[in-house]
Structure 1
Amino acid sequence: MNRKLVLALLALPALAAAPHPAAPAAAPATVHIANFHFGPQTLTVRAGTIVTFVNDDEEPHNVTAADRSYRSPILPPGARYAHQYPAPGDYPYFCALHPHMTGHIVVTGR
């Protein structure tokens, strides 16, 4: 048999057993709170993403799901709150201290 062919055949099992790279993790996402607004007002992320809300305002705020499924503590200026969105869907939220402040997380499939 050709020497190169023998080497190639011997290498096949090693290549097949090599680990496959893991699926990429969801990219980090941030919503900034400033001037009594959430920005961006609508954020689209992949399922499993952790969204960090950062209070860049001079007033305290919080993040409350419209369906009340989660609620951050009151965030003083400079504070952060992180929430993971594991499943596809639409997730509207608002600031319970200032109900006119609203935002929306849209979660797509992985």
Structure 2
Amino acid sequence: MRNSRGTRRFITALAAAVSLTAVAACGDTKPQSQPIPSASAGDTSSAPSTMPGMSMSPTDAPTGPAVATQSVKIKEFAFGPASITVKVGATVTWTNGDQDPHTVTSQAKDGPLKSATMNNGDTYQYTFTKAGTYNYLCTIHPFMTGTVVVTA
């Protein structure tokens, strides 16, 4: 059974997805794509604070500096920590602790992160072989985002 906070987040996410689908169906036939802003780890000044049709309270927003870890938990519709820093050659493991399914997918079209749909308890691992900043999201819940910074 989901707690009420998780239920509210799920319902908000579902309502936003339905609203965005309805808006997309009513617009002109040209694709409406916008680039996803790139921000350095911990810098949220250029990132949007909300998605259309959704609000995010300050307590829901990821805060703090990048964390040096090799594990990311997926819980209550968020990646935690939202930003991590690892060395080249590190393997990062994502674990889904939600009852809802999630994915870990690179935001860049040619990005390396492409998990299958992960159910509760499932894990996804990726070994980073090149330095850089890897922004990712859950394709099922695109408001869920995270970053892996890989250093030499």
TM range (shorter): 0.7 to 0.9
Q: 1:80 aligns with which of 123, 126, 132?
A: 123
Q: Distance in 2 between matches of 1:29 and 1:90?
A: 15
Provide the secondary structure at the position in 1 that maps to 2:136.
strand
Q: Distance in 2 between matches of 1:102 and 1:28?
A: 17
**CA deviation vs aligned residue, 1:9-65 (integer Å, no higher than 9, x gap):** xxxxxxxxxxxxxxxxxx971100000000000000001100000001111000000
Q: Distance in 2 between matches of 1:51 and 1:102?
A: 15
Q: TM-score, normalised by structure 1?
A: 0.72
Q: Which amino acid aligns with 1:83?
A: Y
Give the root-mean-square deviation of aligned CA atoms: 1.4
State whether residues 28 and 50 of structure 1, in contact with CA within 8 Å, keep that contact through their aligned partners in structure 2.
no
**CA deviation vs aligned residue, 1:58-109 (integer Å, no higher than 9, x gap):** 1100000011323100000000000111111000000000000000000011
Q: TM-score, normalised by structure 2?
A: 0.53
How do 1:6-85 and structure 2 match up within 5 A? 29-68=70-109, 69=111, 70-85=113-128
Runs of 4 or more, structure 1, over 6 Å off, are none
Greater relative contact order: 1 or 2 (C-alpha under 8 angstroms, separation 6 or more)?
1
Larger radius of gyration: 1
The equivalent residue for 1:93 is 136
- Residue identity (%): 40
Structure with the larger strand share? 1
Stretches of structure 2 that go unaligned for 5 or more consecutive residues are: 1-67
Stretches of structure 1 that go unaligned for 5 or more consecutive residues are: 1-26
Q: How many residues align?
A: 83
